[in-house]
């Protein structure tokens, strides 16, 4: 009997064009304390610790105390921005799109990883697997990272549509024999390593680069291999409430750029990227928007 793992319902993609643009020029008072939300990752306590060091330097530079918040879920981070309980946030592209759809939020900086403002989503199999391409995954056991993951679900799902292996908005369960959500990059990789799944989708930096040991050790990674790569995943970004005073917005941006130049190790300790750069907000998230349209998913259904 075929066993089906948990799945999420497909939601229609919501329009993200022209939202709250009239509010960008609004003025507001300088807050007594700036609330900076950091999206949770594998170890929220570690993020809190490292983020507080960044916040201390940022506060000194802008002349306002900065309070760090690491909400318990992606959705809580987004809601903090929407409700104005967070003035600045370090999030992924899906969270940004949802916040921007409901509040005056603008992107100011993006991560630069290995000279790129995007990274790869990868399908991973065991090194000894006979699988050689995506088409051969038909009827196999697939482990996505989570239903909120850009690289570990949305971009991987979209790749299957682009390859013609799924129709637009078609359920992945109609291609795979089993579909599961591991709940984290390390768990997805371990599911393949232990033979609980034939393939998984994760971010490339879980298998490559200086921070790969956070997820698996070198011996474990050596038992796995990348089946195929999907480029174009937008790096994480810094966004803020666009109704903050404009001079404060510029101070925040300039200060974070300076921190990334003078203290790259602090940023690397937070999410693994050590440099920020400016980018056009629509261009930066364009691939995510395309993937959401391909899959029929919407930010409101993904960010929980």
**Looking at residues 17-46, what average pLDDT do you find?**
64
**Would you state the pLDDT for residue 128?**
97
Least confident of 26-30, 33-37, 134-138, 235-239: 26-30
Residue 25 to residues 10, 100, 146, 240, 300, Cα–Cα distance (Å)? 35, 15, 37, 13, 26
- Whether the per-residue pLDDT at 300 is higher than 90: the answer is no
Beta strand 34-38 with 66-69 is parallel
Where is average pLDDT lowest: 103-112, 114-123, 235-244, 260-269?
260-269
Helix (H, G, I), strand (E, B) or coil at 233: strand
DSSP 66: E
pLDDT surpassing 80 at residue 278: yes
Domain(s) labelled CATH 3.40.190.10 in the chain stretch across: 21-113+236-302, 118-234
Going from the C-alpha of 117 to that of each of 142, 206, 279, the distances in angstroms are 28, 17, 9
Q: For domain 21-113+236-302, which architecture applies?
A: 3-Layer(aba) Sandwich (3.40)
Mean pLDDT of the chain: 86
Q: Residue 175, Cα to own-chain centre: how many angstroms? A: 25
Closest to 270 in 3D by CA, of 142, 91, 136, 103: 91
Question: Could you report the per-residue pLDDT of 190-239, keeping only the tens digit for each?
Answer: 999 999 999 999 999 999 987 788 899 999 999 999 999 999 999 999 99
Buried residues in 183-216 as b, exposed as e (16+ CB within 10 A): ebbbbbbbbbbeebbbbbbbbbbbbeeeebebbb
Which among 8-12, 96-100, 223-227 has the top mean pLDDT? 223-227
Structure confidence at residue 48 (pLDDT):
80
> What pLDDT is recorded for position 102?
93
Least confident window among 103-117, 198-212, 259-273: 259-273
Residue 303 confidence (pLDDT): 56
* pLDDT tens profile 115-163: 899 999 999 999 999 999 999 999 999 999 988 889 999 999 999 999 9
Contact in structure between 113 and 273 (CB atoms under 8 Å): yes
Q: What is the pLDDT of residue 41?
A: 63
Band the pLDDT of 269: cuts 50, 70, 90.
Answer: low
DSSP 3-state of 179 = strand
Report pTM: 0.81
Q: What is the mean pLDDT of residues 16-33?
A: 53
CA distances, 129 to each of 137, 157, 160, 224 (Å)? 11, 21, 20, 9
Rounded to an integer, what is the distance from CA 156 to the centroid of its chain? 13
Whether 22 has a pLDDT exceeding 50, the answer reads no
Best CATH choice for the domain 118-234 from the list 3.40.50.300, 3.40.190.10, 2.60.120.10, 3.30.1360.170: 3.40.190.10
Nearest residue to 205 (alpha-carbon basis) of 182, 229, 223 = 229
């Amino acid at each position: 009997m075929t066993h089906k793992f948990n799945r999420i319902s497909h939601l229609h993609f919501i329009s993200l064009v022209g939202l709250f643009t009239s509010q960008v020029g609004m003025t507001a008072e300088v807050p007594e304390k700036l609330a900076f939300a950091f999206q949770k990752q594998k170890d929220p306590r570690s993020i809190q610790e490292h983020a507080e060091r960044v916040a201390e330097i940022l506060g000194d530079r802008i002349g306002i105390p900065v309070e760090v918040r690491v909400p318990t879920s992606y959705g809580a981070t987004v809601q903090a921005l929407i409700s104005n309980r967070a003035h600045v946030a370090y999030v992924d592209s899906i969270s940004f799109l949802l916040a921007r759809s409901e509040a005056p939020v603008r992107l100011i900086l993006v991560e630069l990883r290995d000279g790129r403002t995007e990274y790869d989503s990868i399908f991973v199999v065991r090194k000894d697997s006979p699988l050689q391409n995506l088409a051969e995954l038909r009827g196999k056991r697939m482990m996505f990272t989570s239903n909120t993951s850009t690289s570990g679900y949305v971009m991987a799902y979209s790749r299957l549509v682009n390859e013609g292996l799924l129709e637009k908005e078609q359920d992945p369960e109609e291609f795979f024999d089993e579909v599961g959500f591991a709940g984290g990059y390390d768990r997805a990789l371990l599911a393949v390593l232990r033979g609980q799944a034939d393939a998984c989708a994760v971010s490339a930096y879980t298998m490559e680069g200086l921070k790969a040991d956070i997820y698996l050790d070198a011996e474990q990674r050596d038992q796995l291999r990348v089946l195929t790569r999907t480029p174009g995943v937008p790096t994480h970004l810094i966004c803020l409430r666009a109704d903050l005073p404009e001079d404060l917005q510029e101070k925040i941006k300039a200060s974070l750029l300076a921190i990334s130049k003078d203290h790259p190790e602090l940023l690397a300790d937070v999410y693994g990227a050590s440099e920020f750069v400016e980018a056009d907000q629509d261009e930066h998230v364009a691939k995510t928007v395309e993937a959401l349209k391909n899959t029929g998913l919407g930010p409101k259904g993904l960010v929980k």
